[in-house]
Amino acid sequence: MWAGTLLLALGIAYVSVNLGLHHGSADTRRPSDVDTPSPARPGLSQIKVTDPVDRKTYGVYVWRPNVPETRTLPVLYFLHGVPSDPKTLIDDEGLAKQVQSYVAHGGTPFVLVVPDGNGSHHEDTEWADAADGSDMIEDRLLNQVVPAVEGRHRRDAAHRAIGGFSMGGYGSMNLALRHPGVFGSVVSISGYFHVDDPSHMFGGKADVIAANRPDQNLAAARHSRIFLAAAANEDNPVIKGEPQRFKKLLDDAGIPAVLDVRPGGHDWDYVRSVLPAAFDFLAQGWSAATPVPAMRRGR
């Protein structure tokens, strides 16, 4: 009787194992873990996100290359300065067109995202969360913009970069160091690395200020690939000499970083001149992580 029971059990187990191929037992990954590519959606579009505090909608421009959407297609979140907004970077400064040209001429394809760093209560948000909770720009970027852009193809840090100009250069470095598990590379163009808070986002609170000073949070920089850009003719007193100062702090701490100094001032002509080098820097890291699919060419 025991022998018969054992044979019956073994038979059931055998059938279960073989049928398990249809139930996922041979592949322990959940369906959501399988990165099934989505069709390419090339070109420029705009999406809307709702701020968690003021409940207003803010526009986010997204440029996508002619490549299927996957978790290994890199994304660059590019932050504007002040006063500015995403529309200015797209319409007036031609940022998306420059990315499109870079990719069309053989550069590594990536998704460009230009979010809105403005709020309802502060003219100069520093891309941060206000100490009094009235404007939550950092929270909006991380918890509204990133999920809306990436959807089910959520990137790891190696395939997600952040960059920006001026206040955006500060914000990109600050957010990269505050969230090293989110952003693996950072491009700070004409940025600063101390706190400049004319609109009192940090409320004068010493602990909040300290938590938002990249020059005092160098340990987190060990997890990031860093590109610093400085205009040789920089005349903004908040920014002049800052990329060089921050590079020395990184050098003294033994943290690798690239410093690019070239002719120019505090304007978008200079930014446009440095962007190809910044894109190449990002592409080196992305290629080392996972090769990016080749662009689809139109007929």
Tokens read off for 36: 């099934």
The per-residue pLDDT for 292 is: 62
**Half-sphere CA count of 62, side-chain side, radius 13 A:** 21
Q: CA torsion angle for 22, 27, 33, 37 (degrees, to 10)?
A: -70
The per-residue pLDDT for 18 is: 30
Name the pTM for this structure.
0.87
296 pLDDT above the threshold of 90: no
Distance of alpha carbon 71 from alpha carbon 153, whole angstroms = 5
Residues 248-264 have a mean pLDDT of 98
pLDDT classification of 6: cutoffs 50, 70, 90: very low
Strand ranges across the sheet with 225-231? 43-50, 57-64, 111-114, 75-79, 160-165, 185-189, 225-231, 258-262
pLDDT classification of 32: cutoffs 50, 70, 90: low
Domain boundaries, the chain: 1-29, 40-289
Give, to the nearest 10 degrees, the angle between helix 268-289 and helix 95-104.
50
Rounded to whole angstroms, the maximal C-alpha distance in the chain is 93
Q: Within 10 A of 75 (CB to CB), how many other CB atoms are there? A: 23
Statement: 40-289 belongs to CATH 3.40.50.1820: yes
Q: Convert the pLDDT of each residue in 45-89 to its tens digit.
A: 999 999 989 999 999 999 999 999 999 999 999 999 999 999 999
What type of residue sits at position 119?
Answer: G
The per-residue pLDDT for 295 is: 65
Q: Which residue has the tokens 């002719």?
A: 263
The H or E element that residue 89 is part of is none
